[in-house]
Amino acid sequence: MTAKDSFFEVKNLTKNFNGVTAVNDVSFKVGRDEIVGLIGPNGAGKTTMVRLILGILKPTSGRIYFHGKNITGKKTWSVVEQGITGTFQNTRPFAKLPIIANVVVSCLGPRAKKRGEWVKRVEAKAMDALEFAGISDLALEPASQLSHGDLKRLEIARAIATEPELLILDEPFGGLNPTETELLGKSIKRLHKGGRFGRLHSEGAAMIIIEHKLSELMKIVNRVIVFNFGEVIADGDPEEIIKKPEVIEAYTGKEVI
């Protein structure tokens, strides 16, 4: 498979910061029907990789392709318009606005405006996104009043309102209790499968998920890529990956004999 006929591909991507290499010659592909877990110890380069994909950072070298198109170094708004959206571990809502207003902002992007008859009823579409994320009953509450778990769900609602084909989630389960984690996990699976959710229509989103809660992550993903020191050290089936000596050593710091 070449860049021209692949859904998403990172090719020989490198990012240096003042002589320090955060991502080193990384290559991988994501299929249209995949949920890929991106794991590794702290400082492995995972978040830097996400920021490169989303256009927040520009790579030192290498290329990023989406539907065969080179999107390397594109501005974040342009990446979102192409169909790639991300959420981050540290949520940043418009705190003084109702949460529905936070989602309406996402509904007004150029990509979202192209995708359906809902345009004249943007508030209704925002409500559909909130309902999908499980927080529609809080629509008129200011974002500043939300719990940590509900803020995570608000991030999901804002992301899916752009109707992405590739959704990147940075530690979606961070800080959530077991019940919140289970509910969010179900929402992620639903979004991946696709379907119609009110005025939202999704053909199913491919996903890249960064997560430290490995037991929860493994219930969702069908493939895992392992980073360490800015490089990919393993890529494959979740059950096999977690048994690899190089992966165990990366997490424990001890050589596995």
Phi-psi region of 59 (alpha: psi -120 to 50; beta: other; left: phi over 0): beta
Condensed to tens digits (0 to 9), the pLDDT of residues 82-131 reads 999 988 776 677 777 888 888 887 777 666 655 555 445 778 888 888 88
Quote the mean pLDDT of the chain. Answer: 84
Distance from C-alpha of 98 to C-alpha of 101, rounded to nearest angstrom: 5
- Tell me the per-residue pLDDT of 59-83, one tens digit each, with 9 for 90 and over: 999 999 999 999 998 999 899 989 9
Q: Which domains does the chain have, with CATH numbers?
A: 1-78+222-257 (3.40.50.300), 83-165+173-206 (3.40.50.300)
Per-residue confidence band for 153, with pLDDT thresholds at 50, 70 and 90: confident
Specify the length of the chain in residues. Answer: 257
- Tell me what pLDDT residue 118 has: 47
Query: Quick one: how many helices (H) and strands (E) in the chain?
Result: 10, 12
pTM (predicted TM-score): 0.83
The fraction of the chain above a pLDDT of 70, given in percent, is 86
Stretch (H or E) spanning 82:
helix 76-82
The DSSP symbol for 143 reads G
Q: Identify whether the C-beta of residue 197 lies closer than 8 Å to the C-beta of residue 146.
A: no
